[in-house]
Structure 1
Amino acid sequence: MKLIFEVKKAVAQYDNESAMNALKVMMRRGEQLTVKFYTNKDNFPCAWIESKRISGFQLILNQEGLNWLRTYLQTGETEDFGFNPCNVTAFEEDEDKDFQLAIFRQLAAYDEKRLQFVPLFRERSEYIKGYASYLKGKIFFRLARTTELLDYLIERDLIA
């Protein structure tokens, strides 16, 4: 007699509500945040958030969550704009999934004075690194070094 074992994977859903509550606590304390944007393995737009007192964690975002985070970084205001951490949507298969690049392009278009880059002569990798500095923290970028991106940055005099 041959026994067959069926393997079942337990899929745990991420506790985005607890992540939001942790961020609220950090904001109420007025902490300086370090933020990095990315798309997680399940195609959700996310922010990686940390501070000197709290180690990094993921917050899955929608437009309200992004507005909340941006407003805090810029002004220190903690209003959450009705952000429901359970009402988030993954990118569709045909959508551009590079959330970090999308955020970077918005900043380059509307807030380019805040962007700073590691000089290209110091960079030896396939990435362009930089950050945007705000009253309550920084947004860090690590972008794929493409000809299109380099031309865009040089054209706008953002890098030399």
Structure 2
Amino acid sequence: MVLNFSEKTVEKKYDNASAMNALKVIMNRGEQLSVKFYTSKDNFPCAWIESKKIAGFKLILNQEGLNWLRTYLQTGETEDFGFNPNNIEAYSEEEDKDIQLAILMQLIANEPKRLQFIPLFREKGEYISAYASYMKGKIFFRVSRTTELVDDLTERELIA
């Protein structure tokens, strides 16, 4: 028996427009969101979004998408700021690809009182966990524990 595989490779592209539409439905119902940020395997900045009624799904982000999500979490406003879910770009090789850490550091700089950190003695392994609560949901963080990050958070009196 001889198996012949065709040389064609099928690249399945993620349907980000449908993910955006699903998020619009959730937002229009006024649901509370749970959001986690990460970088996908193909270097796209993403949000993992879920609610009590909808299982988690990925939304690939650009700046407009991030603004849309942040505004909904903070105010409940559903305006999408012209977010085009198909106008997305992967991180280049030179860029810092850790969107989760970048957003955490931005919150530390601008809204440190909004963050709540899990006490370090409860953390196992090499991570620091935190979350930020908003009117329409929470953003959850689980970032690598580095000496620099621990020193910075301790200096700002965010962790003990």
TM-score of the alignment, normalized to the shorter chain, above 0.5? yes
Amino acid at match of 2:46: C
2:73 match: 73
Aligned residues with identical type, % of pairs: 74
Residue 138 (structure 1) aligns with: 138
**1:30 and 2:30 correspond:** yes
Q: Which runs of 5+ in 2 are unaligned?
A: none
In 1, the alpha carbon distance for the partners of 2:142 and 2:42 equals: 20
Relative to the length of structure 2, the TM-score reads 0.96
**Distance verdict in 2 for CA 1:124–1:84, change over 3 Å:** same
Tell me what 1:9 maps to: 9
Pairing of 1:1-160 with structure 2 (within 5 A)? 5-160=5-160
Query: TM-score, structure 1 length as denominator?
Result: 0.96
Aligned length: 159
- Tell me the C-alpha RMSD between the 2 structures: 1.3
Distance 2:101 2:140 in 1: 11
Unaligned runs of 5+ in 1: none
Distance in 2 (alpha carbons) for counterparts of 1:90 and 1:159:
33
- CA distance in structure 2 between the aligned counterparts of 1:48 and 1:11, rounded to whole angstroms: 22
Amino acid at match of 1:104: L
Aligned CA distance change for structure 1 residues 126 and 29 (closer, same or farther; 3 Å): same
- Equivalent-residue separation in structure 2 for 1:132 and 1:110 (angstroms): 12
Q: Distance in 1 between matches of 2:65 and 2:101?
A: 18
Q: CA deviation at 1:36?
A: 0.2
- The CA deviation at 1:4 is 5.8
